[in-house]
Amino acid sequence: MWPEWWEWELVDVRSMLQRARGYRPSVVPRRSMIDTTHQGRPWIVIVEPDADERRLVIVTVYEATP
């Protein structure tokens, strides 16, 4: 049996990144915090660029609290 979270809604991270309003360094070296929105509310996407592979690794996405 799959856990409860298996049925949770998926967030479209690519569209959130297209609406990015800015970025800043994360507390973890090499990672950045992307400020964006989802359904009209502020969210943060934590990313870690892999320059060797030219890929952007999505670490986590969460709704920002005011």
Confidence check: pLDDT of 19 > 90: yes
Report d(CA 13, CA 15) in Å as an integer. Answer: 5
Asked whether residue 48 is assigned to any structural domain, the reply reads: yes
Confidence check: pLDDT of 57 > 90: yes
Asked whether residue 13 is assigned to any structural domain, the reply reads: no
Asked whether residue 23 is assigned to any structural domain, the reply reads: no
C-beta atoms surrounding 50 within 10 Å: 11
> How many domains in the chain?
1
Q: How many helices (H) and strands (E) does the chain have?
A: 1, 4
Asked whether residue 45 is assigned to any structural domain, the reply reads: yes
Asked whether residue 38 is assigned to any structural domain, the reply reads: yes
Q: pLDDT value at position 40?
A: 93
Q: In terms of residue numbers, what domain contains 44?
A: 31-66
